[in-house]
Amino acid sequence: MWRYIAQRILVSIPVIIMVGMITFTLVYIGPGDPAAIIAGDEATPEILEQIRADLGFDRPFPVQMGDWFWKLLHGDLGTSYFSRREITELITPRLQPTLSLGFQVVVLSTIIGITTGMLAAWKAGSRLDRNLMVLAVLGFATPGFWLAFLTIWIFAVNLGWFPVIGYSPIQDGLFAHIHSLFLPVMVNSILASAFISRITRSAMLEVLREDYIRTARAKGASELSVFLRHAFRPSAIPVATVIGASIAGLATGFVLTETIFAIPGLGRMLVDAIVRRDYPIIQALLMVVAIVLIGVNLIVDILYAYIDPRIRY
Amino acid sequence: MTEPLLKVENLQTQFRTEGGLVKAVDDVSFEVQPGETFALVGESGCGKSVTALSIMGLIPNPPGEIVSGKIEFNGVDLLKLSGREMREIRGSKIGMIFQEPMSSLNPVLTIQSQLTEALRIHTDLSKNATNDRAVELVDMVGIADAKTRMKQYPHQLSGGQRQRIMIAMAMSCTPQLLIADEATTALDVTIQAQILDLMKDVTEQSGTALLIITHNLGIVARYANRVAVMYAGQLREVGEAVEMYTEPRHPYTIGLLRSVPRLDSEKGTPLAPIAGEIPDLTNLPSGCAFSPRCGWAVDKCFEESPLLEETSSGKKVACFEHQSVALNVQ
Ligand SMILES: Nc1ncnc2c1ncn2[C@@H]1O[C@H](COP(=O)(O)OP(=O)(O)OP(=O)(O)O)[C@@H](O)[C@H]1O
Ligand SMILES: [Mg+2]
């Protein structure tokens, strides 16, 4: 097991390097001259030249990339063009809202998705099953932004149960924090759980057709034990895959969510950076997202091994 | 005559499929005596597994349904039992082994947890006692290193070993009846014999009756006391195992005998597969279902379906022409 985990981690290192190279190159060849952005409209060619030299833009591409990697390795994400501040310093306060939102959505959508999926499989073909699956189809056919605006309109504007915008950090009280994130958590969870639910149902139904399920019944096992003890774990592999994929989906979805709900997280930061062409921040955030996704993949891989002994050995 | 352990009477099991109604088991009756070995033989798709699953109460519904008949076990009609009562019999009084050793064990559960499951369900043994019993069972089925096997998973065992575990599992509560549905078909020939010997041994030791299901009439010779030959959902010939070889009475039985290699056949005797195709159960020919493939068929065979009748020698056969068959074979 430990060997397997170590192996997985080793395999992720070249992936991270690749992602870094691609990120850096894309931003390097991207439109716009950073020196012009920094200098503003009235800059003379001499000033531009000066800025380029200061920031090292006059060096050859491989040297710039090597320098960037070297700093990255030492935890230095660079300096913002716009605010001239260390990016690590800028990112730190942005982490909490995004991580909290992500954590709540993953937990909630996993719980909702797996329970409704199992219920539908348990009562496969029944009215409950059909209703749940219609809801699931609606869930992933609904555009996220539309649902977001709808919930804001109903629960925040008309009913006034939740703030329209505004984020309350954990330090100011857990309840206030959860309350302030309630709508975005709900919107994202509903969308993500629809997918998890469908996959759980179909994975369960597939496993229930396996020969070893018949063996369990032949031993006199009750239907509940067949369902939970014999069928759930083998079906968990596709479910773990989908949860991993939906986390990847969330990473991009949060750009939208944080913008609509005015949450001061990483997603908003990225939008702002793109608007201002603040390349170092874009690079840094893409790197952070990539590392998070690789981490999620790693966790899913470890889960696989936990679920299925055939992978462990 | 002792009370039969299992008495199947006029069993009819059907499946509603897109292609139409499949009469997988059509009016089947037979008896299994306590402790005997009874073989159910027939080509693929003739309804052997459906018969076994009907006895176990494991016919998937829908699409399947037992439409009529009785399955008496110790004098109690299993078809009248509630789901709960039937669960109490499955795994404790009747054990079953399946054809596919590779997929019949749960890949994510340890051998120990699968082996002890029936004991946990059906007995009040303590945890330690069930675990000890599991080790004993693994020893009994001839797998070395029983203790370390307990923590292993099915993929760490060979096909033959898995089938041995299946036997241990099915025998864990010392059932009165063990059903082995093509338990050896997927294995190497040498291992097939070992597994059959093992089943014969363990059932003899505990006085368990054995219902062997196979399409290989050759296998049955050494193991069964009595044999029932099944074709297209119906029994065609039932009798003592030895008689099936010395005096087969149904043309289908003769076909089956010629189509499988036998240990006692002379070297160089060619194998003759039965001509024609296995019939489509949704669209059976009128008359005797075997008539299109039968060399003995007369006009009547294409119009009427023969019933299983007792002959003078005491065996049962469903064929209008069985007397002329008898004369010709002798
Ligand atoms: N779940 C099911 N749904 C529909 N039809 C079925 C089902 N199970 C069995 N049947 C049909 O019942 C008939 C008998 O099948 P059965 O499995 O009993 O054959 P068998 O004699 O065991 O053959 P084999 O030697 O291949 O195992 C087949 O025609 C099959 O198509
Ligand atoms: Mg079968």
Q: What is the DSSP secondary-structure string of A45-64? A: HHHHHHHHHHHTTTS-HHHH
Does residue B98 lie in a domain region? no
Q: A221, B169: Cβ pair inside 8 Å?
A: no
Residue bearing the CA closest to ligand 1, atom 11: B24
On whether both A62 and A170 belong to a single domain, the answer is no
On whether both B189 and B242 belong to a single domain, the answer is yes
Q: Which helix (H) or strand (E) holds B67?
A: strand B64-73
Rounded Cα distance between A195 and B178, Å, is 44
In this prediction, residue B43 carries a pLDDT of 87
Domain that holds residue A92: 88-307
Q: Which helix (H) or strand (E) holds B97?
A: strand B94-97
Tell whether the model's pLDDT for residue A33 goes beyond 80. Answer: no
Domain boundary among B124, B145, B172: B172
Q: B169, A219: Cβ pair inside 8 Å?
A: yes
B178-206 average pLDDT score: 86
Q: Which helix (H) or strand (E) holds B31?
A: strand B20-32
- Of B70, B80, B65, nearest to B28 by C-alpha is B70
Q: A219, B56: Cβ pair inside 8 Å?
A: no
Residue bearing the CA closest to ligand 1, atom 31: B45
In this prediction, residue B76 carries a pLDDT of 93
Tell whether the model's pLDDT for residue B74 goes beyond 90. Answer: yes
Which of A1, A209, A215, A217 best probes binding to B when mutated, by most B CB atoms within 10 angstroms?
A: A215
Tell whether the model's pLDDT for residue B94 goes beyond 90. Answer: yes
> What is the DSSP pairing of strand B177-181 with strand B94-97?
parallel
On whether both B46 and B13 belong to a single domain, the answer is yes
From A142-151, B23-32, B231-240, B244-253, the region with the lowest mean pLDDT: B244-253
* Ligand 2 centre distance from Cα of residue B45 (Å): 7
In chain B, the residue whose alpha carbon lies closest to the alpha carbon of A233 is B108
* Ligand 1 centre distance from Cα of residue B62 (Å): 14
pLDDT tens-digit readout, B232-289: 989 999 988 888 888 888 888 888 888 776 655 566 666 777 777 777 877 787 888 8
Rounded Cα distance between A298 and A114, Å, is 21
Question: pLDDT confidence of A82, banded at 50, 70, 90?
Answer: confident
Rounded Cα distance between B105 and A219, Å, is 12
In degrees, to the nearest 5, what angle opens at C-alpha A199 toward C-alphas A197 and A203? 120
A251: amino acid identity, one letter:
A
- Of A87, A92, A95, A101, nearest to A254 by C-alpha is A101
On whether both A59 and A110 belong to a single domain, the answer is no
In this prediction, residue B269 carries a pLDDT of 63
On whether both B193 and B85 belong to a single domain, the answer is yes
Does residue A284 lie in a domain region? yes
In chain A, the residue whose alpha carbon lies closest to the alpha carbon of B90 is A220
In this prediction, residue A118 carries a pLDDT of 94
Tokens matching residue B291: 């008539």
Residue bearing the CA closest to ligand 1, atom 26: B44
Which distant-in-sequence residues (6+ apart) come within 8 Å of A49 by Cβ?
none
The string over A137-175, giving b where at least 16 C-beta atoms fall within 10 Å of a residue's C-beta and e elsewhere, is eebbeeebeebbeebbeebbeeeeebbeeebbeeeeeee
- For the entire predicted model, the pTM comes to 0.83
**Count of domains observed in chain B:** 2
Please give the order of strands across the beta sheet that includes B6-17: B20-32, B6-17, B64-73, B76-77
Which among A251-260, B87-96, B271-280 has the top mean pLDDT? B87-96
On whether both B191 and B84 belong to a single domain, the answer is yes
Give chain A positions within 8 Å (CB) of B92. 220
On whether both B254 and B318 belong to a single domain, the answer is yes
On whether both B298 and B187 belong to a single domain, the answer is yes
Domain boundary among A24, A45, A73: A73
On whether both A58 and A97 belong to a single domain, the answer is no
Tokens matching residue B159: 């096909």
Q: A309, B107: Cβ pair inside 8 Å?
A: yes
A9-23 average pLDDT score: 87
pLDDT tens-digit readout, B200-235: 988 999 999 999 999 888 778 788 999 999 999 899
In this prediction, residue A312 carries a pLDDT of 72
Q: A219, B117: Cβ pair inside 8 Å?
A: yes
On whether both A25 and A139 belong to a single domain, the answer is no
Q: How far is CA A91 from CA A96, A253, A302, in A?
A: 10, 19, 29
In this prediction, residue B268 carries a pLDDT of 62
Does residue B208 lie in a domain region? yes
Mean pLDDT of chain A: 88
B31-45 average pLDDT score: 92
B80-97 average pLDDT score: 93
Q: Which long-range contacts (CB under 8 A, 24 or more apart) does A2-5 make?
A: A4/A302, A4/A305, A4/A311, A4/A312, A5/A302, A5/A305
Which distant-in-sequence residues (6+ apart) come within 8 Å of A89 by Cβ?
none
Does residue B165 lie in a domain region? yes
Does residue B138 lie in a domain region? yes
Domain boundary among A11, A44, A73: A73
Rounded Cα distance between A96 and A169, Å, is 8
In chain A, the residue whose alpha carbon lies closest to the alpha carbon of B172 is A219
In this prediction, residue A57 carries a pLDDT of 78
Tell whether the model's pLDDT for residue B330 goes beyond 60. Answer: no
On whether both B110 and B41 belong to a single domain, the answer is no
Does residue B36 lie in a domain region? yes
Q: How far is CA B265 from CA A80, B185, B257, in A?
A: 90, 21, 10
Tokens matching residue B96: 């079953």
**Count of domains observed in chain A:** 2
| Number of the ligand closest to the Cα of B96 | 2
Tokens matching residue A179: 């309350």
On whether both A173 and A238 belong to a single domain, the answer is yes
Rounded Cα distance between A56 and A58, Å, is 5
A96: amino acid identity, one letter:
Q
What residues flank ligand 1, with Cβ below 6 Å? Answer: B 15, 17, 22, 24, 42, 44-50, 60, 63-64, 182, 215, 281
Tell whether the model's pLDDT for residue B297 goes beyond 80. Answer: no
Does residue A132 lie in a domain region? yes
Given a contact cutoff of 8 angstroms between Cβ atoms, the answer to whether A213 and A252 are in contact is no
Higher pLDDT, B295 or A222: A222
In this prediction, residue B100 carries a pLDDT of 84
Domain boundary among A73, A107, A130: A73
On whether both A206 and A133 belong to a single domain, the answer is yes
On whether both B241 and B121 belong to a single domain, the answer is no
Domain that holds residue B282: 1-93+175-330
On whether both A137 and A263 belong to a single domain, the answer is yes
On whether both B168 and B225 belong to a single domain, the answer is no
On whether both B66 and B118 belong to a single domain, the answer is no
Does residue A50 lie in a domain region? yes
Rounded Cα distance between A115 and B33, Å, is 48
Q: A220, B166: Cβ pair inside 8 Å?
A: no
Q: At what angle do helices A266-275 and A87-122 cross, to 10 degrees?
A: 130
B25: amino acid identity, one letter:
V
pLDDT tens-digit readout, A161-176: 888 777 888 888 899 9
Tell whether the model's pLDDT for residue B295 goes beyond 60. Answer: yes
Domain boundary among B149, B172, B195: B172
Determine the residue of B17, B21, B23, B46 to mutate for testing ligand 1's pocket, defined as the one with the most ligand atoms within 8 A of the Cβ atom. B46
From A180-184, A247-251, B121-125, the region with the lowest mean pLDDT: A247-251
Which of A206, A219, A228 best probes binding to B when mutated, by most B CB atoms within 10 angstroms?
A: A219
Rounded Cα distance between A229 and A307, Å, is 12
